[in-house]
Chain A
């Protein structure tokens, strides 16, 4: 199973090692971990809740992984884990691991998956701050990051 949406935390080391299981053609594993950031100051975020669209979220992540594998056929394995529910500052949110023969496709596919996940996968963050809870606004810079991959 290459995609998971779950409340539980994950072990990035174990996930990376699993991408090597039974393979001798892997020369590189690139990984990304997204973490709940406390922005500090008066408006500091203390925690957040992640909502998703059960069914569609998993499907959209699988489509993004399929696109990455089509784009970089030398990629041998992909693992995506995204947590949902209430998370504290410092908690891990998302893991993307990509294994390939060489670092080029592993780095590129990992970044592609994150850029597409940020703009296409149905997740929504609600931050808790001293001033109250607020839904996070989508950022234009995320759209720009995803648009870089268009032909």
Chain B
């Protein structure tokens, strides 16, 4: 399945890009599995960030949340607005 990955803030700078298409085997997997496959594919910054946060289709998601074909998965540090 094909998903869209987004990175924000310090993680975006460490990865060197804000978004990318990513091909994942199977029809469904977890956010943690997406992260692991990205790390295996060379996105080492994802493994180094403490307190990594994620969202699936623009809603906050934990590591066990399901990811399906066409989903948008975002990774970012803890938020610091306001």
Contacts and interface: CB of A to CB of B under 8 A. Distances in A.
Q: Do A and B bind each other?
A: yes
Interface in B37-52: 51
Given A51-B8, A53-B74, A124-B10, A138 B58 contact: no
- Give chain A's interface secondary structure class: mixed
A19 interface: no
Interface of A: 34, 50-53, 55-56, 59-60, 82, 93-94, 114, 117-126, 135-138, 142
A58 B81 CA distance: 13
Contacts of B80: 118, 123-125, 135-138
Contacts of A59: 58-59
B-side interface size class:
10 to 19
A94 B12 CA distance: 24
B53 to A, nearest CB: 8
A122 B79 contact: yes
B58 A119 contact: no
10 contacts: A50-B81, A56-B74, A60-B60, A117-B81, A121-B79, A121-B81, A124-B9, A124-B77, A124-B81, A138-B80
B6 A34 contact: no
Contacts of A120: 60, 79
